[in-house]
Amino acid sequence: MVNRTVTKRELYQKIAKLSGQPQAVSREVVQLFLDQVIEELAEGNRLELRNFGVFDSRIQPAHKARNPRTNEVVYVDSKAVVTFKVGKKMDEEAQKRLNRRE
């Protein structure tokens, strides 16, 4: 079974239907939530959502790499990266789905 991509639009439409709120309200809430997640991570904060997971941002240091086509050494600048560690409940649900596929 191939998983499909769910867009932000589909997400807020589903939330609107489940909550009985207008789509405009759910769209605004979803966008505010995402904006706040971005802001917290940009400030270097760790974001823990119980049973879902933990988002963390860190700086990946500059390093040397090699271009596989030319074998040339290239220098990669440092950059901010976001990591995600899955929460217990989400992990359990994923394991249930995997077991059903087998």
What domains are defined for the chain?
1-43 (no CATH), 45-102 (4.10.520.10)
pLDDT digits (tens, 9 = 90+) for 41-62: 999 999 999 989 999 999 999 9
Q: What is the C-alpha to C-alpha distance for residues 52 and 94, in angstroms, rounded to an integer?
A: 11
**What integer pLDDT is reported at residue 102 of this predicted model?**
65
**What integer pLDDT is reported at residue 98 of this predicted model?**
81
b/e 19-36 (16+ beta carbons within 10 angstroms → b): eeeeeeebbeebeeeeee
CA distances from 65 to 19, 51, 77, 80 (A): 49, 37, 10, 17
Please report where in the chains the tokens 């790499």 appear, as a residue.
65
Check residue 63 and give left, alpha or beta (phi > 0: left; psi -120 to 50: alpha): beta
pLDDT digits (tens, 9 = 90+) for 59-84: 999 999 999 999 999 999 999 999 99
